[in-house]
Structure 1
Amino acid sequence: MVVKFEYGEGLMEAVLPDDRTDVFIPGETIPDPPCIPADALEEATRQSILHPIGMEPIHKLVRKSSTVCIVFPDRVKGGFQANSHRKTAIPIILEECLKAGVEKKDIQLICSNGLHRKNTKEEIRSILGDQIFNEYWWTGQIVNHDSEDWSNLVDLGTDEDHNPVIMNKKVFESDFVACIGHTTGNPYGGYSGGYKHTATGITHWKSIASHHVPAVMHRDDFTPVNSHSLMRRKFDTISMHMEKRMGRKFFMCDAVLDTKARQIAVFSGYGQEVQPASWAVADKRTYVSFAAQKYDIMIFGMPQNFHYGNGMGTNPIFIMQAASAQIIRHKRVMKDNCVMIFSSICNGYFHDQEFPSYRETYDLFQQDYHQTLPDMADHGEAFAMKQHYIDAYRFNYGFHPYHAFSMMSCGHLAEKHCSAIYCVGAYEPGFARGMGFKTRSSFAEALQDATKYVGSSPRILALPLTFKTAAVHLCMKDGR
């Protein structure tokens, strides 16, 4: 069979054996559960918000003098369609607050970008829609979280597990905080949304450095992906410490999304109860029973522009992280000595303006006795304190300098769990080799070389469109 894989802005073909290759495309190979019909979506969301789990409804939580904060995820995930979860849920929450007497001037909307770059005005508009944008943007009531603005941060000490908790001050001081989340498969702790949203989106790099680090991500409980790892516990304890110190619970409104970011179900209320309820529904779409036998080789392709932005599929640190995310998601169906092969133009395009610290981080990895990615962990704090990178994050739409180190922590997992990793079609193969990849010009050459690890008749898992759709976590057909 001929399978086409993403390759920069185009595609690269691979000729794969019909009898030993399984192709999986999320939402197509095995259909998603049905989403809420478009004409019923607003009412379903409204009923979820009006009847929250484990909390009083909004009209009992706010009054005329209340200050309200609505926290919403950034552009990285969640969809931009007219009836996306953000565009559906936020107007209903605003309506309930205003009906209960809250004054419009006392409402703030905060984009929970965490260490990601701040979202531009037009990106915010595309996330929220014209009506909400025009009502609140021009009065300064829609802002990005700034994890380096100490005039709007509060240090809450440490949680019960000694994780540092530093959070957005406006959120901390608000009388009512609604968090709009997306329950979608995530290699970091199983799912986005819930307490992951608050633990990463409105905090500081020191809080994020308590879980996006080798000591957490390289544990046996992290891979394959699950919702019971130490990382997931840290999301919970950090967010619950925020709630304890605020003296109130986050009002969460999380939608379980399908491959096209459509809502399968909506759950609102207390995070400790919303998470298991939403996960139970999301599991049916996300943990997919698929493989009859384990695979020797995983093949996929990287576009230039996906997830974090343009350059994700060319920046060598991001390439390694994306490869590792595939292992985290699909380790259940891969043999212990598996091989990974992917296409990437890998042309040395770091996109320095958007990811300003990444080139220096990569260069440092090539020097000074750094043998594996975990050797870089001790430099995270030094980079996080470099003022020119902080300024780029705060004022010029750059990712925070610590972000590169969180990506490197994940990136080591591909090396840890694979016999070999091949980057196919690199324009500048030295960048790929600098991350530990083997380089070949074609899938055919990589497959031929891989026989030394997996034999002459390997079983192959082909994953076209894997970075163009909302991913799943593949499992064995017997549920393992």
Structure 2
Amino acid sequence: MQTFSMKYGKSMVDFSLPEKNLLDIIKNNEKDFSKSEEEVILDALNNPIGTGTLKEIVKPGEKICIVISDITRAWQKMSTYLPYVVDTLTEIGIEDKDILFIASTGSHRKHTKEEHRTLLGEKLADRFEVIDHDCWDKENLTYVGTTSFGTPVHINKMAFDCDHILLTGAIVFHLLAGWGGGKKSVLPGICSYETIMKNHALSLNPTLGEGSNPSVRSGNIINNPLYEDMLEAAKLVKPSFLFNVIMNADGKIAAAVAGDFIEAHEAGCKIVQELDGVSIKEKADVVIATAGGFPKDINLYQTVKTLINAREAVKEGGTIIILSECSEGFGNADVQEIIQDYDTMLEREKALRENFSIAKYIGYFVSEAAVNFTLILVSNIDGELVERANIKVVKTIQEALAIAYQKQGEDLKAYLMPYGANTLPQLV
């Protein structure tokens, strides 16, 4: 037997597996991260992809909107890279009064003043205010066109009225859009609620009873209607420039891309693929995965990122064991409703289609996974709240393994995923 430790909440938990049964530990690919964060940021800004530099694009006297991510993505260290973007604009001759920061909250809540300071960092927070996008504020939304998927695109008017829109953010694998960053700063970032929900509803197949669209998944943009719709919407807005970072497992800005919001983003996606796309030769009988502890496992809503990746490494009908403390429970009432209030997937799908929300889709996705796999949470969440979706809750990994052994036999091949929210297993 071999003993392993994995992150859970703010602590570590130990468990044992027969050494012969371990297929691999799925973790990030080794890359050279010897450059400092400053070097990475300046190198990207000075060598844009598909466009000129900011100094070649922006002229003194023009109004600039910088779209930044919201507090749920503070891990991307905006306060580290935004000062370099602002310094560049200042060197061009752009005055502070002509720079507008808008937080791309999408359908998320507004921020506190303290959270604004966290986003900008102390230096910039003393110079600028942050405007939180409000997807419900029709007075500050403007219609810019309709996509080929029938999505009416209503955009933040303050942003659209600026001479230039600069998109900032981070690129990671994304459960719906394939990759985060890029066009997501526009849709859902600064669009209306109607636009966001119309787009995200494309995550389901067109016909009731067919469930999730298999093309809408992490790391995939081929025939992914949700991604294609987002891209069309962003093209209508015509962003002038993009700056996106890529983080490593240690939380360092390891790489960055800048320039054209499509070309530069595609280059960044390739870096993420090289870093976090992990090749596997076979699928396992059981996968044990952790998001990486607090705050990534603070609730079930956040835990879905780990589940999405873990299911790519396990055989159909196999067992997925997720370590997720869920100290704040479901994290969203819509997630809880879809999981707790229905007995069948058809009922859940009907409820989702009738009043689509991202949180409801996450509840649906988790429930769908529990149909196709044995889904076990090592968690503090109340097991009775998820039992209607056939999700099992235990206190230890050994308890979870005992369930898997009883159902599938004891000679089970296993993968471990200590960075489950980031690493995407890909069968080759």
Task: State the TM-score, normalized to the length of structure 2.
Answer: 0.86
Distance 1:55 1:347 in 2: 45
Q: Give 2:388's aligned residue.
A: 434
Q: Give 1:298's aligned residue.
A: 287
Q: In the TM superposition, what are the counterparts of 1:94-113 in structure 2 within 5 Å? A: 94-113=86-105
Distance 1:63 1:223 in 2: 40
Distance 1:257 1:147 in 2: 28
Offset of 1:132 from its aligned partner?
0.6
Question: Contact 1:165–1:242 at 8 Å: present in 2 too?
Answer: no
Offset of 1:12 from its aligned partner?
4.0
Distance 1:158 1:190 in 2: 22
Offset of 1:220 from its aligned partner?
2.3
Q: Give 1:387's aligned residue.
A: none
Offset of 1:186 from its aligned partner?
2.6
Runs of 5+ in structure 2 lacking a partner? 206-210
Q: Give 1:149's aligned residue.
A: 137
Q: Give 1:250's aligned residue.
A: 240
Offset of 1:462 from its aligned partner?
2.0
Q: Give 2:227's aligned residue.
A: 232
- Partner residue of 2:59 out of 36, 49, 63: 63
Give the fraction of aligned pairs with identical amino acids, expressed as a percent: 20
Distance 1:224 1:93 in 2: 29
Q: Give 1:475's aligned residue.
A: 426
Offset of 1:311 from its aligned partner?
4.4
Q: Give 1:21's aligned residue.
A: 22
Q: Give 2:265's aligned residue.
A: 275
Secondary structure at 1:201 match in 2: coil
Q: Give 1:397's aligned residue.
A: none
Question: Contact 2:298–2:326 at 8 Å: present in 1 too?
Answer: no
1:312 matched to 2:307? The reply is no
1:262 matched to 2:261? The reply is no
1:281-334 deviation per Cα after TM superposition (whole angstroms, max 9, x unaligned): 222102122x34320111234688424xx8414xxxx2xx734x3453244432
Distance 2:375 2:73 in 1: 27
Q: Give 2:122's aligned residue.
A: 130
Question: Contact 1:337–1:453 at 8 Å: present in 2 too?
Answer: no
Q: Give 1:35's aligned residue.
A: 33
Q: Give 1:221's aligned residue.
A: 215
Offset of 1:161 from its aligned partner?
2.4
Offset of 1:450 from its aligned partner?
2.3
CA 343–46 in structure 1, closer or farther in 2 if over 3 Å, else same: closer
Q: Which amino acid aligns with 1:322?
A: T
Runs of 5+ in structure 1 lacking a partner? 244-248, 382-401
Distance 2:90 2:97 in 1: 11
Secondary structure at 1:156 match in 2: strand
Q: Which amino acid aligns with 1:221?
A: S
Question: Contact 1:21–1:459 at 8 Å: present in 2 too?
Answer: yes
Q: Which amino acid aligns with 2:234?
A: S
Distance 1:416 1:367 in 2: 14
1:344-383 deviation per Cα after TM superposition (whole angstroms, max 9, x unaligned): 55678456xxx4x448x528951597755323213426xx
Q: Which amino acid aligns with 2:362?
A: M
- Partner residue of 2:365 out of 398, 410, 421: 410
Q: Cα RMSD (Å) of the superposition?
A: 3.1
CA 441–285 in structure 1, closer or farther in 2 if over 3 Å, else same: closer
Offset of 1:438 from its aligned partner?
2.6
Distance 2:27 2:34 in 1: 18
Distance 1:78 1:45 in 2: 17
Question: Contact 1:348–1:428 at 8 Å: present in 2 too?
Answer: no
CA 159–293 in structure 1, closer or farther in 2 if over 3 Å, else same: closer
Question: Contact 2:67–2:185 at 8 Å: present in 1 too?
Answer: no
Q: Which amino acid aligns with 1:297?
A: V
Distance 2:401 2:270 in 1: 38
CA 279–130 in structure 1, closer or farther in 2 if over 3 Å, else same: same
- Partner residue of 2:351 out of 376, 382, 397: 376
Distance 2:233 2:379 in 1: 42
Q: Give 2:322's aligned residue.
A: 342
Offset of 1:157 from its aligned partner?
3.8
Question: Contact 1:429–1:439 at 8 Å: present in 2 too?
Answer: yes
